[in-house]
Amino acid sequence: MSADGIAGEEVVMRALKLCRLVLLLALASGVGFEGVAQTLSDPSAFSSIQDRAVRSRAIFSEMARVIESPRCMNCHPATDRPTQGNDRHQHIPFTGRGEGGVGVAGGACRECHGDANFTVQEGASYQSIPGHPRWGLAPIEMAWQGKTPGEICRQLKDPGRNGGAVSNFYKSMLPRTI
């Protein structure tokens, strides 16, 4: 059991369900990676894998399909400038990471990104502006662009970069060999 009383298997399954939910929400907002959302395996698909290391790698590989999507990668840039769109082009209008990852003066994320997705009027060159109450860039320590799934996995397990947010038990459920 983890510190909060959740069994390790349940933590991993919850993480996979969360990844699936993120994709479905992105799909509903018009982001456009329907193929991944429709083919993402249900968490129960991994229950028959008996070897814990093999199962954890399989689960993380499935999670990586979400993590590597533009919806996630755009806010996990390797630079101080976010990308946008399925092609991950440089963010327009120009903005930068800024203090706390919420943009720079005159280009703060909240100036365009509100608490919820916003559908743009007909005729615009894009369909919507995504939103969330805590919209901003991931800390540079959690940059994912240009990294392999194995590098991202090690990054997520590293308490020096994840702010200590991953419990030892959860860390043990993530793949050890990638």
Domain definitions of the chain by residue range:
8-68+144-173
Residues contacting residue 156 through CB under 8 Å, at least 6 positions apart: 162, 166, 174
What would the 3-class secondary structure string for 76-98 be? CCCCCCCEECCCCEECCCCCCCC
Convert the pLDDT of each residue in 119-169 to its tens digit.
887 777 777 788 888 888 888 888 999 999 999 988 888 888 777 665 554
Tell me the percentage of the chain whose pLDDT exceeds 70. 69
Least trusted range by pLDDT, from 17-21, 36-40, 90-94:
17-21
- Mean pLDDT over 23-50 rounds to 65
Model-level pTM?
A: 0.69
To the nearest whole number, what is the mean pLDDT of the chain?
A: 77
